[in-house]
Chain A
Amino acid sequence: MILKLAWRNLWRNKRRSFITIASILFAVLFVVFMRAFQLGSYEAMTRGVVNMYTGYAQIHLNGYWDDQTLDNVMPYRESFEDSLLKVDGVKSVIPRLEGFALSSFVDKTKGTLVIGANPEKEKEILKIEELLFDGEVISSADNQIMISEGLADYYKMSVKDTLVLLGQGYHGMSAAGKYAVKGIIKFRNPTLNQNTVIMSIPQAQWFFSTGNQVTSLILEKEEFTKVETLVADVSKKIDLNTFEVLDWKTMLPELVQSIEADNVGGVIMAFILYMIIFFGIFGTILMMTAERKYEFGILISIGMKRIKLGMVILYEIVFLGIIGVLSGYLLVYPLIIYFYINPVRFEGEFAKTFEDLGFEPIIPTSLDPAIPITHALIILIIALVLSIYPNLKIQHLKPTEARRL
């Protein structure tokens, strides 16, 4: 009975209901749209950074991440790799041996990152083949190296020149060698592009005297697998006293922090939007209460309980809220999906800055269902809080005065 009354009341004054619904609808539209873009840009950024070098998760010898020296290498076994590939969500396992060495050509020297990598397996991460700038890609049997474009530019080197590398290897062994440059890679990441030497894993193992060992195994995940689940599943498979499994959040705390810092800005924006929405809805409710003062007076006079009248008003507002939120979804979802498929693409100078940093110059939206759900709930709560006002009015209404127009 009360529900029916509330429902009918809504349609008694269509224009008033419509205004309230519209204010809620736009609130949902704005907040969800804004957050979808913001979180979408974080996802794109994470994907960009993570897929450039570190990968979503890595396995090392326990303690390697805190003390990244060649003394903390771990044995590399095919059987270990196979057992990891059996874990759900692991798409591929990419071994890497990373170290540092001083490089020299003619009369210049520079500190370089030496990466022992498998070009075949690095298709998704280092993208050695895709980013080839000059020359050829090395094979695992090669005793030649590839250098980054920035390093080649620093030395004014080209393919077939010989680079001298000097450093310290496993257990303090000397690591020294002369290597012909077979290819030049243009990395998108500026730091990586400036000083990187890539050699095959067997060659790097010889250079650093590590034997058949590597510093890290990178885990590539299937697209819809969550990193957290992947790390948890892999952790169950391996001996955590010997190895460590780290996700990108641990390995790239700067990225997490910059996202968090930016996100605070987004949350503040959302809060301001909510304040506006709050007063918008409050305004319409205020109007409605004033308009219906006479009606309330009559109803109370003819014996309707104040509690019941309050319930009617509460239901009315909940109805308005639900209709507003649902119609907001109907409007915002096609937009979000459209921009997910056709993300905002930057052009010109701005796009170049993005590309230099190794990101695609796009801002897609996020399809995370958590966004609309949380915001719908917040708006419903706002509507409920606001329904306190007409209820208070009803409780203190003096029918005799209210009927006097």
Chain B
Amino acid sequence: MKNLTLFIIVVFQSFFAISQDLTADEIIKNSEEKYRGKSSKITMTVTIERPKWSREMTLTSWNKGNDYSISVITAPAKDAGSVMLKREKEIYNYVPSIERVIKLPPSMMMQNWMGTDLTNDDLVRETSMVEDYSAKLMGVESIENREAYKIELNPKPEAAVVWTKVIIWIDKKEFLQLKTEFYDEDDFLVNTFIGKDIKEIGGRILTSKMEVIPADKPGNKTIMQYNNIEFDIDIEESFFSTQNMKKIR
């Protein structure tokens, strides 16, 4: 079904050069679905770059729809086994060395995750761009020689998000998130996400590498490299349980 829509869109665009037929909401939705699928298993390497040092870790995550996600760190040895679980609106953290499951309050969602430039929220993607923001199409711009929709997102009044403005550039052809800018309440740029290395992964054309660049810390960067993605895997909701956090490897 989705492939059909995609096909129609592509056909549509080839007929009308500046197609405005897709609404901003639809573009975002297409893009989110492309990255998320119905369910997925992702292994990735996260590299933290700092002016004086850098560090790498690997993790595996399982996702089902928008509501369920579990990710476990597999390396380095000292952090291995540390698990983050998201069930609907609740986030849990399991640390094996202290054998404790910790429920993260919403106030902690914007804190850095494991010393990276990512927030806990970025990791589990609690907020949904479609549900929590209202989107506005700003036009079409070229990013790295690719035509991209420029869309401005503003949080809906009832949404529990911190950004007052998000600008996202989504590739016209493949709905790839090429670049995202996050602005705080004073309209200052805080973070920039850049999608790179477009290639087929898990049967889909995706940006296999994402760089997170905080605006106020020169030389700091976090790189997420997708090593492998399996889309639409068979996975039960019961997999995403606090009990399973202790068993998962």
Contacts and interface: CB of A to CB of B under 8 A. Distances in A.
Interface of A: 71, 104, 164-166, 168, 171-174, 176-178, 209
B115 A172 contact: yes
B97 A178 contact: yes
Given A104-B100, A166-B95, A173 B78 contact: yes
Interface in B94-109: 95, 97-100, 102
B76 interface: yes
Interface in B60-111: 76, 78-79, 82, 95, 97-100, 102
Contact of A168 (B76, B98, B100, B115): B115
Contacts, number: 44
A164 B100 contact: yes
19 contacts: A71-B50, A164-B98, A164-B100, A166-B95, A166-B102, A168-B114, A171-B48, A171-B55, A172-B55, A172-B114, A173-B55, A173-B76, A173-B78, A173-B79, A173-B114, A176-B97, A176-B98, A177-B97, A178-B99
Nearest to A179: B98
B98 A173 contact: no
B15 interface: no
A173 B50 CA distance: 14
Given A104-B100, A166-B95, A209-B78, A174 B48 contact: no
Interface string B27-65: 000000000000000000000101011010000000000
Contacts of A104: 100
A165 B98 CA distance: 8
A133 to B, nearest CB: 26
Contacts of B79: 173-174
B191 interface: no
B98 A177 contact: yes
Given A71-B53, A174-B79, A176-B98, 14 more contacts: A71-B50, A71-B52, A166-B98, A168-B114, A171-B50, A173-B55, A173-B78, A173-B79, A173-B114, A173-B115, A174-B78, A178-B97, A178-B98, A209-B78
Contacts of B112: 172
Main secondary structure of the interface of B (DSSP, over half): loop
Contact of B116 (A166, A172, A178, A209): A172
Contacts of B95: 166, 174, 176
Interface residues of B, number: 19
Contacts of B114: 168, 172-174
Given A104-B100, A164-B98, A166-B95, A174 B82 contact: yes
B111 to A, nearest CB: 10
A140 to B, nearest CB: 21
Contacts of B76: 173
Contacts of A71: 50, 52-53
Contacts of A209: 78
A164 B95 CA distance: 11
Contacts of B53: 71, 171
Nearest to B95: A176
Nearest to A177: B97
A166 B96 CA distance: 11
A65 B115 CA distance: 21
Contacts of B82: 174
Which of B53, B100, B115 has the most chain A CB atoms closer than 10 A to its own CB? B115
A387 B112 CA distance: 75
Nearest to A104: B100
B99 A171 contact: no
Contacts of B48: 171-172
B228 to A, nearest CB: 24
Contacts of B97: 176-178
Nearest to A165: B98
Contacts of A164: 98, 100
A104 to B, nearest CB: 7
A331 to B, nearest CB: 63
A209 B52 CA distance: 17
Nearest to A172: B115
